[in-house]
Amino acid sequence: MKLCDLTLPTPEENLACDEVLLDLCEAGDSDELLRFWASPQYFVVLGYANKATTEVNLPYCQQLGIPVLRRCTGGGTVLQGPGILNYSLILRIDDAGPCHSTPATNQFILERHRDALASLVLAPVEWRGQSDLAVGGLKFAGNAQRRHRRYLLFHGSFLLHLDIELLEKVLPLPSRQPDYRVNRSHSDFLINLRVPDHTIKTALSKAWSATEPLDPIPADQITLLAREKYALAEWSFKF
C-alpha cells in the first residue's frame, strides 16, 4: 500500500485531494493508499447531504471567519482544525473481499483500527454506531466513505487535542444522531485522545502495511478540483 503524509495549504485543496486520489486509483493509475493530513486552520466540513442552515451556526462562523465547505462523502458535519488528525484510505472493491458492501467495509476497517489503537489508549476502544470509534461511550473518531466501481474512499478524523468548546459554538446538535449519543451535548459526547499524532500514524501505517511513498503527487489535478468545485459556494451550499 502507498503512503501519503500530505497536508496542503488550503482547506479546499485538502478536501479535493481525497477525491483526486480516489479517481486516480479508479482510473488504474495508483495502488491502494493511506493518506494523513492535519489542518492548521479551523473550517467546517459538511457531509455530502447535510444542510448548512441546519447543521452549522452560520452567523458565528461568519463572525470568526471560519469557512464552511462540503466533502464528497456522507456522514455528519465536523469541525476541522488544530488538534485533529485526518486519515484517508483508498481500498479496492472486490465482490468476494472484505469491502464488498458499505457495512462490510465499516466492519473491516474499524475493527482493524480498533485493534491497532488498543495499545495507545488506556481503556478499551469500541466500535459504536455505524462508523464511530469511542472509549467508554465517548466518541473520538468519526468516519465516512464514498464508493466507485473499483475503489472506495474511507476517511475519518481522530480527536487528539481539539477545542471542543469552540465546536460547541460552531455546530448545533446534529439532526441525525447514533443511538448511543442519546442527545448528549458535544462536550458530554466527545473526547480527545491526547496522544501524539505520530503514534496514530505509526499504528495505522503498520496495520495497513503502508510503506511506499506516493510519487508523484497529482498536484495539478488537486489545485484544479479545489478551484472548480470545493471553493465554490454552489458546491458548499448546494442543499
Query: Is 87:204 a contact under the CB 8 Å cutoff?
Result: yes
Number of domains in the chain: 1
Render pLDDT for 183-239 as a digit per residue (tens, 0 to 9).
999 999 999 999 999 999 999 999 999 999 999 999 999 999 999 999 999 999 999
Cα 218 from chain centre: 20
pLDDT attached to residue 122: 81
The residue range of the domain holding 136 is: 2-234
Q: Is residue 105 part of a domain?
A: yes
Q: Is residue 226 part of a domain?
A: yes
- When pLDDT is averaged across residues 26-40 and rounded to a whole number, the result is 94
Q: Is residue 143 part of a domain?
A: yes
Q: Is residue 239 part of a domain?
A: no
Scan for cell 491526547, then name that residue.
194
- When pLDDT is averaged across residues 64-70 and rounded to a whole number, the result is 98
Q: Is residue 222 part of a domain?
A: yes
State the helix-helix crossing angle for 197-207 and 102-117, rounded to 10 degrees: 120
Cα 129 from chain centre: 16
Kindly indicate the confidence band of residue 133, based on its pLDDT and cuts at 50, 70 and 90.
very high
Q: Output the 3-class SS for the chain.
A: CEEEECCCCCHHHHHHHHHHHHHHHHCCCCCCEEEEECCCCCEEEECCCCCHHHHCCHHHHHHHCCCEEECCCCCCCEEECCCEEEEEEEEECCCCCCCCCHHHHHHHHHHHHHHHHCCCCCCCEEEECCCEEEECCEEEEEEEEEECCCEEEEEEEEECCCCHHHHHHHCCCCCCCCHHHCCCCHHHHECCCCCCHHHHHHHHHHHCCCCEECCCCCHHHHHHHHHHHHCCHHHHCCC
Kindly indicate the confidence band of residue 29, based on its pLDDT and cuts at 50, 70 and 90.
confident
Q: Is the confidence at residue 82, as pLDDT, over 90?
A: yes
Strand-pair partners of 94: none
Nearest Cα neighbor of 210 from 105, 116, 121, 93 is: 116
C-alpha–C-alpha distance, residues 189 and 93, integer Å: 33
- Give the cell for residue 139: 466518541
ω into residue 216 within 30 of 0, thus cis? yes
Q: Is residue 14 part of a domain?
A: yes
- The amino acid that residue 237 corresponds to is F
Q: Is residue 115 part of a domain?
A: yes
- When pLDDT is averaged across residues 44-70 and rounded to a whole number, the result is 97
pLDDT attached to residue 78: 98
- Give the cell for residue 190: 466527545
User: Among 29-33, 49-53, 136-140, 161-165, which is the least confidently predicted range?
Assistant: 29-33
**What CATH number does residue 162 fall under?**
3.30.930.10
pLDDT attached to residue 32: 96
